[in-house]
């Protein structure tokens, strides 16, 4: 049998070798679940967005904000929900007013970095919080912005915002609604009429105060002198040992870059049950009107991404995926790399197997090639280095068996046959090369560098024999 036919008889012709099939299946199952889970959950109707606290689509009185959306739209504003990362605001081709209402989930440093560009463009941010995660976004901004622009203090190996939501319960015996200190009423505004022309009285519900007032922070509204904060929720009556006496800042403005941050120490002002009390509706409309005029926009974006989503909410999964895609596409550093990453992922995961190996017959012989060389050339072109080294080593073993009159290939018998013609050092080197080749074959894929190392070992064995 000739070398050509011998080699071809042992080569696979129709088998498609799997390339990381297990990993590929896992990745595709994960992508399939992420892609279809929101649709499946939407069909089942589990926890829709209109039941979530502070959602502008929730029409419930005690926790919904649908009336806020209606009020702003009637005032001529475009109101949009944001269900992914805050970095999406940088993908909008115009300035906007971003509003964070009663945040529950944490804010990342990546989102704070996106807000840095947001403020440099002149846009505005409203944070209405009492006992949520509003301080986290302030701390992240303090970490990114210089102290002269954003009031902050050193904290361990980082920096923390000096201005904070107190997160203790605010009560006001001097100014409240219906004689209830837990419903403080704002009647003291320090804006000189620049923001609130018709708003005279704003009712809050289980509010807190704002601490760490800085020269850059403008106090807009305060509680009365008969107000206090306490950490005792069970017995919130005034206790000198546990209470701090007011007045306390309840609303304020902070200039950041070309934009503004407005802090409101109670998001309950904007819920459906509260927005109709006193001048709360007028307060909401005049606050957003002032901020919109500062940034020359009529677009208001209400953050839904940091609300308390149910694990079975379809919007939660859509937001998680879209948040990452949005960040990659809007970040000035990563956006140019996004197409390259997408192409790499497609090339890495879409192909399940290698192309079928066609039988190298007459076509190759017409070109003056043997079937063996044609097959080897095919493996090298397609970077199947493990297959290439395997067929080369198989041919070498046949040569060694024939030249040394062995019954079959065996490293120990071969070394015994060569002991008379090779030195001890050459025998050791021969043994190392053959064992390395033996280990490499049939052990999965190898890279180009490993192939070159094995190739030179194989060449050295052939030259010595």
pTM for this prediction: 0.63
Which residue pairs, CB below 8 angstroms and at least 24 apart, start in 419-423? 422/464
Cβ atoms < 10 Å from Cβ of 426: 12
Strand-pair partners of 259: 256
Position 21 scores a pLDDT of 65
Fold of the 48-309 domain: Rossmann fold (3.40.50)
CA–CA distance, 151 with 263 (Å, rounded to integer): 14
Confidence of residue 365 (pLDDT cuts 50, 70, 90): very low
Q: DSSP code of 19?
A: S
Supply φ then ψ for residue 419, to 5 degrees: -60, -25
- 305 and 84 in contact (C-beta within 8 Å)? yes
CA–CA distance, 427 with 418 (Å, rounded to integer): 8
CA–CA distance, 292 with 195 (Å, rounded to integer): 11
Cβ atoms < 10 Å from Cβ of 371: 22
User: Looking at per-residue confidence, does 6 or 396 come out higher?
Assistant: 396
Supply φ then ψ for residue 86, to 5 degrees: -65, -20
Q: Per-residue pLDDT tens for 183-208?
A: 999 998 998 889 999 999 999 999 99
Q: Per-residue pLDDT tens for 374-389?
A: 777 777 777 777 777 8
**Sequence-ordered list of residues with C-beta below 8 angstroms from that of 205, at least 6 positions apart, any chain:** 182, 183, 266, 268, 269, 271, 274
Q: What is the DSSP string of 414-451?
A: HHHHHTTTS-HHHHHHHHHHHHHHHHHTTSS---HHHH
Whole-Å CA distances, 247 to 8, 127, 210, 267, 379: 92, 21, 11, 20, 80
- Whole-number average pLDDT of the chain: 79
Residues of each domain in the chain carrying CATH 3.40.50: 48-309
Does the pLDDT at position 53 exceed 60?
yes
Q: Per-residue pLDDT tens for 303-322?
A: 988 887 665 555 554 555 55
Q: Is 339 exposed, middle or buried (0-12, 13-18, 19+ CB in 10 A)?
A: exposed
Q: Which residues of 138-173 are buried (b: 16+ CB within 10 A; e: fewer)?
A: bbbbbbebeeebbbbeeeeeebbbbbbbbbbbbbbb
Q: Per-residue pLDDT tens for 403-416?
A: 888 878 888 888 88
Q: Per-residue pLDDT tens for 17-51?
A: 444 567 767 777 776 666 655 555 445 555 555 67
CA–CA distance, 257 with 149 (Å, rounded to integer): 7
Cβ atoms < 10 Å from Cβ of 91: 12
13-17, 89-93, 97-101, 234-238: which range is least confident on average?
13-17
Q: Is 94 exposed, middle or buried (0-12, 13-18, 19+ CB in 10 A)?
A: exposed
């Amino acid at each position: 049998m000739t070398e050509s036919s011998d080699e071809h008889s042992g080569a696979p012709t129709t088998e498609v070798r799997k390339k990381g099939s297990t990993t590929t299946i896992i990745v595709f199952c994960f992508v399939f679940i992420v892609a279809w889970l929101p649709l499946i959950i939407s069909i089942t109707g589990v926890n829709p967005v209109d039941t979530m606290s502070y959602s502008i689509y929730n029409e419930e009185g005690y926790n919904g904000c649908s009336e806020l959306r209606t009020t702003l739209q009637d005032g001529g504003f475009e109101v949009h929900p944001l269900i992914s990362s805050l970095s999406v605001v940088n993908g909008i081709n115009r300035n906007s007013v971003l509003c964070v209402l009663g945040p529950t989930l944490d804010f990342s440093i990546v989102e704070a970095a996106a807000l840095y560009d947001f403020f440099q463009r002149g846009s505005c941010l409203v944070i209405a919080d009492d006992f949520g995660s509003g301080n986290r976004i302030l701390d992240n901004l303090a970490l990114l912005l210089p102290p002269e622009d954003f009031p902050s203090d050193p904290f361990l190996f980082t920096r923390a915002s000096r201005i904070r939501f107190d997160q203790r319960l605010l009560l006001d015996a001097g100014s409240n609604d219906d004689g209830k200190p837990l419903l403080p009423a704002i009647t003291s505004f320090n804006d000189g009429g620049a923001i609130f022309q018709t708003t005279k009285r704003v009712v809050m519900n289980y509010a807190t105060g704002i601490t760490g007032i800085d020269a850059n922070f403008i106090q807009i509204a305060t509680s009365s002198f008969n107000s206090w904060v306490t950490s005792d929720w069970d017995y919130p009556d005034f206790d000198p040992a546990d209470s701090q006496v007011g007045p306390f800042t309840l609303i304020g403005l902070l200039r950041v870059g070309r934009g503004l941050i407005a802090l409101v120490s109670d998001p309950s002002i904007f819920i459906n049950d509260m927005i109709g009390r006193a001048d709360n509706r007028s307060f909401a409309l005049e606050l957003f009107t002032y901020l919109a005029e500062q940034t020359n926009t009529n677009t208001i974006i209400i953050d839904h991404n940091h609300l308390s989503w149910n694990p079975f909410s379809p919007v939660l999964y859509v937001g998680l995926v879209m948040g990452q895609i949005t960040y990659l596409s809007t970040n000035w550093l990563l956006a140019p790399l996004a197409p390259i990453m997408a192409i790499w992922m497609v090339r890495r995961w879409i192909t399940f197997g290698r192309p079928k190996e066609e039988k190298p017959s007459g076509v190759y012989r017409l070109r003056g090639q043997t079937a063996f060389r044609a097959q080897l050339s095919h493996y090298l072109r397609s970077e199947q280095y493990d297959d290439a080294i395997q067929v080369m080593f198989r041919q070498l073993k046949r040569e060694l068996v024939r030249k040394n009159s062995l019954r079959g290939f065996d490293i120990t018998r071969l070394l015994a046959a060569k002991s008379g013609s090779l030195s001890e050092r050459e025998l050791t080197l021969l043994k190392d090369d053959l064992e390395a080749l033996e280990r490499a074959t049939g052990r999965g894929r190898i890279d180009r560098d490993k192939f070159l190392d094995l190739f030179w070992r194989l060449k050295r064995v052939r030259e010595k024999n």
